[in-house]
Amino acid sequence: MGIEGKVCSISVDNASYSDAVGLSEIEDVIENVRESVKHIAASTARLTMFSDIVKQLQLPNKRLILDCCTRWNATYSMLSCAMEFKDVFLRYVQRDVSYLSSDEDWMRVEEVCSFLALFNEVNNIISDSKYPTSNLFLPELWSIKELLMEKSLSGEL
């Protein structure tokens, strides 16, 4: 086996093009959530309607999160927060326009969110350390490599 099967490297900075490293494959899902959150947040009446549904469903009083599109971990936060409000979004659709109107849309959001969860976990492990030595992050990077290989071979995402 050649070197290509033995070496894995991911190197990005905070530049806006860093989302092209993998988010372009799941861009439609992210954009649907982002636009839904923007739509609700843009109007006091829509926010009130959304909050009323949250109260009816007796969910924790949390706010929707809008991501910073150049930070994938902020995108993960937005998606995981939206997942907590899935039932609210589905009921909200009945009263207003939404980009997330079907169970199929939400299955895709859940799939993308669970995929990004590993990246978020690894980011937290590496970021929480003052001295991220190879013994700390190499196993984590390997798990990312394995996940990427699995998804690319299965055609998912």
Give residues with Cβ within 8 angstroms of 16, minimum separation 6.
69, 70
For residue 18, what pLDDT is reported? 47
Residue 75 and residue 70: Cα distance in Å, rounded? 9
Tell which wins on pLDDT, 22 or 71. Answer: 71
pTM given for the model: 0.73
3-state SS class at 99:
coil
Q: How confident is the model at residue 13 (pLDDT cuts 50, 70, 90)?
A: low
Average of per-residue pLDDT values in the chain = 81
| Least confident residue range of 46-55, 58-67, 135-144 | 135-144
Using alpha carbons, select from 100, 101, 116 the residue that is nearest to residue 37: 100
Q: How confident is the model at residue 125 (pLDDT cuts 50, 70, 90)?
A: confident
Residue 78 and residue 119: Cα distance in Å, rounded? 14
Q: How confident is the model at residue 58 (pLDDT cuts 50, 70, 90)?
A: very high
